Structure 1
């Protein structure tokens, strides 16, 4: 968020980058009649998320993985690391044009390392 009120956000990436969007707050009132008081809270309908780079994910076991493969994975082995952080292929979700990505390998770098 960039200098916005709590319910106004600025889109950071994609075709709508820079556009402002208003997120409506939801009023929540408990239905439990056993409470000795009444209250209401207003909440933004957002699901918290956590993001990390593929490098930071190495060695981690994750419940669910989402990959943005709209740009090529550019270091040898990074795609492998990203894909094998969960125990099930059903827990991997990705964005890729035409469901295809390219694992770019710079052979010059591999030759220098050996």
Structure 2
């Protein structure tokens, strides 16, 4: 999901994978209470039922090792070696997901261009 709006009582998000791709969803804030609390008072907290994830640009990821990577490509990469850097950050290829949005190369869906300048290797 991509967070599109963060408000006091609701998060507006867009689903980017699965059977509901492109759908807008609203995630409300919920009151949560522990069921097995040994506290002398009632503990209530209001929070969004979400798991936080972090994002960074491909350039910022260079030199880091990550356990899981989701790569969102709304358009083809635009500089030399960028796709290699993005795909080589992961420790295991089972833990990478790539979403190519509107990507077509050679009239085949699901492809993106890997930009390589051969002059760099000369």
State the TM-score, normalized to the length of structure 1.
0.72
CA–CA distance in structure 2, aligned partners of residues 89 and 66 of structure 1: 11
Corresponding residue number in structure 2 for 1:31: 35
Corresponding residue number in structure 1 for 2:96: 92
Match status 1:43 vs 2:47: yes
User: SS state of the match for residue 23, structure 1?
Assistant: strand
Corresponding residue number in structure 2 for 1:102: 113
CA–CA distance in structure 2, aligned partners of residues 101 and 59 of structure 1: 23
CA–CA distance in structure 2, aligned partners of residues 49 and 92 of structure 1: 14
Question: How far 1:7 moved relative to its partner?
Answer: 2.5
Higher strand share: 2
Q: Rg larger in 1 or in 2?
A: 1
Q: Unpaired runs of 5+ in structure 2?
A: 17-21, 104-108
Contact 2:6 2:12 in 1 (8 A): yes
Corresponding residue number in structure 2 for 1:63: 67
Q: For 1:21-51, what per-residue CA distance to the aligned partner results, in whole angstroms no more than 9, with x for missing partners?
A: 6421122111114222211111112221211
Higher helix share: 1
Question: How far 1:2 moved relative to its partner?
Answer: 8.7
CA–CA distance in structure 2, aligned partners of residues 35 and 102 of structure 1: 58
Contact 1:68 1:94 in 2 (8 A): yes
RMSD between aligned residues: 3.2
Q: Unpaired runs of 5+ in structure 1?
A: none
Question: How far 1:106 moved relative to its partner?
Answer: 5.3
